[in-house]
């Protein structure tokens, strides 16, 4: 009897140890998707693109070279795997629209290929992966392009976009764009929250958020500048997307972002949808998840977004667009929103006006990286787990839509 009890204890210990090791391995697997540099992310993408070409028919890998003033080794990479039996639906999964956010987007794309790009999915669904839409910002840890342009305010099929007037932004220009070198510990920066709260009292947080984040086309060195013309990679992508999508009737694009929202939570932000049938289809796909349709005070609308651009490229087709936004700063709340905009202001100020000391640069650059690519392994694991669960249901629903 004693021998049996000892054997049972040994068995229990081994089982617990195996479960513990399994949990550690699962965490390490999630973390292995995250890389430290643009080149590492790009090399991973190219490697699995090559693998996919050996597994499926008519796979196409290509890249768009984005010309730079100081760096000509900047590329947007594309991987297209057509539906293997009947071309009914196309899934477009894009990352790095805001360059520095590309690290998380790249990790999600790699997980998708590793776990969800299956023969079953590809029966009637084609897949187009767009990796590193803003390679300059990706490589140099900025949200914008080398021209200080926010690609998610720059994307449209009409040049009328660049005539948009954001008068609310103009009124806030001096507050948002200080014209002096950054001294991180200055009195003004220490009491930034007080200044911001005064602005909030004068208007309201939703009004200020809209004025700041909507996009502006007047101040080239300002935050959220949408440009005066289309950026080269957006111009190049237009006909490519149209060509790949021409044989599909239903297109869903997921654009991967970080920053806005509750820390560690995956938020779902669709484009405004007037068509009740399209809205119903979107809600069916994301049944069980909270979709923010823009009907709350926490939401803001933007002009020139990349997902909307894709929809405009494909008139007459069913286009379902969804932004996956991984929250980092609790920016849906007042103080989180204030901390976020402070980081943005100081980073942009430093780029255009310099820093008083190296330590000021280091502090600002560290904060902006943590804002868009948190180093916390628990944050990274958490968003992976959430995304994995969404992917498990979303793609089967999309294939059956």
Domain with 17 in it: 1-31
pLDDT classification of 107: cutoffs 50, 70, 90: very high
What percentage of the chain exceeds 90 in pLDDT?
A: 77
Between the CA atoms of 265, 266, 272 and 273, what dihedral angle is there, to the nearest 10 degrees? -130
Are 14 and 43 members of one domain? no
Confidence grade of residue 15 (pLDDT, cut at 50, 70, 90): very low
Residue 197 burial class via C-beta count within 10 angstroms: exposed 0-12, middle 13-18, buried 19 and up: middle
pLDDT confidence of residue 196: 83
Same domain membership, residue 162 and residue 118: yes
pLDDT in tens, 337-394: 899 999 999 999 999 999 999 999 999 999 999 999 999 999 999 999 999 999 999 9
Do 26 and 41 sit in the same domain of this protein? no
Query: Which of these ranges, 104-108, 282-286, 298-302, has the smallest mean pLDDT?
Result: 298-302
Is 161 part of any domain?
yes
Question: Residue 337 falls within a domain, yes or no?
Answer: no
Confidence at 295, pLDDT banded by 50, 70, 90: low
Q: How many domains does the chain have?
A: 2
Residues 41 and 23 both lie in one domain: no
Does residue 160 share a domain with residue 20? no
Looking at the domain assignment, is residue 229 inside a domain?
yes
In terms of pLDDT, which residue wins out, 27 or 49? 49
Same domain? For 315 and 393 the reply is yes
Q: The whole model's pTM is what?
A: 0.91
| Structure confidence by residue, pLDDT tens digits, 137-180 | 999 999 999 999 999 999 999 999 999 998 888 888 898 999 99
Q: What is the pLDDT of residue 197?
A: 83
Query: For the residues 242-255, what does the mean pLDDT come to?
Result: 98
- Judge if 243 and 324 occupy the same domain: yes
Average of per-residue pLDDT values in the chain: 91
CATH number at residue 382: 3.40.630.10
Domain match, 1 and 116 both = no
pLDDT in the model for residue 271 = 81
Q: What value does the mean pLDDT take over residues 100-110?
A: 98
Query: Within this chain, do residues 107 and 245 fall inside the same structural domain, yes or no?
Result: yes
């Amino acid at each position: 009897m004693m021998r049996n009890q000892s054997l049972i204890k040994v068995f229990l210990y081994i089982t617990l140890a195996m479960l513990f090791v399994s949990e550690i391995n699962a965490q390490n697997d999630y973390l292995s998707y995250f890389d430290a540099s643009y080149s590492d992310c790009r090399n991973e993408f190219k490697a699995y693109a090559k693998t996919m070409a050996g597994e499926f028919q008519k796979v196409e890998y290509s890249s768009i070279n984005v010309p730079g003033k100081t760096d000509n080794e900047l590329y947007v990479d594309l991987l297209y795997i057509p539906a293997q039996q009947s071309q009914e639906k196309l899934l477009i999964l894009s990352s790095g629209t805001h360059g520095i956010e590309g690290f998380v987007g790249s990790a999600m794309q790699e997980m998708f290929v590793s776990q969800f790009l299956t023969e079953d999915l590809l029966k009637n669904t084609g897949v187009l992966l767009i990796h590193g839409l803003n390679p300059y910002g990706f490589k140099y840890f900025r949200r914008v392009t080398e021209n200080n342009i926010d690609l998610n305010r720059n994307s449209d099929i009409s040049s009328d976009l660049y005539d948009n007037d954001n008068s609310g932004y103009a009124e806030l220009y001096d507050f948002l764009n200080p014209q002096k070198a950054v001294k991180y510990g200055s009195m003004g920066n220490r009491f930034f929250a007080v200044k911001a709260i005064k602005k909030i009292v004068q208007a309201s947080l939703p009004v200020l958020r809209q004025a700041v984040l909507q996009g502006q086309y007047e101040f080239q060195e300002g935050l959220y500048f949408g440009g005066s013309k289309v950026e080269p990679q957006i111009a190049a992508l237009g006909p490519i997307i149209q060509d790949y999508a021409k044989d599909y009737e239903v297109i869903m694009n997921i654009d991967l972002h970080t920053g806005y929202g509750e820390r560690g939570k995956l938020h779902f932000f669709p484009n405004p949808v007037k068509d009740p049938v399209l809205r119903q289809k979107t809600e069916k796909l994301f049944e069980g998840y909270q979709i923010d349709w823009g009907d709350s005070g926490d939401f803001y609308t933007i002009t020139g977004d990349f997902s909307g651009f894709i929809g405009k490229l494909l008139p007459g087709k069913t286009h379902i667009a969804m932004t996956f936004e991984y929250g980092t700063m609790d920016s849906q709340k007042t103080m989180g929103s204030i901390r976020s905009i402070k980081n943005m202001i100081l980073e942009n100020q430093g780029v255009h006006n310099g820093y008083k000391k190296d330590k000021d640069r280091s502090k600002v650059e560290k904060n902006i990286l943590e804002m868009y690519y948190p180093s916390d392994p628990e944050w990274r694991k958490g968003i992976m787990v959430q995304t994995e669960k969404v992917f498990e249901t979303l793609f089967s629903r999309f294939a059956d839509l």
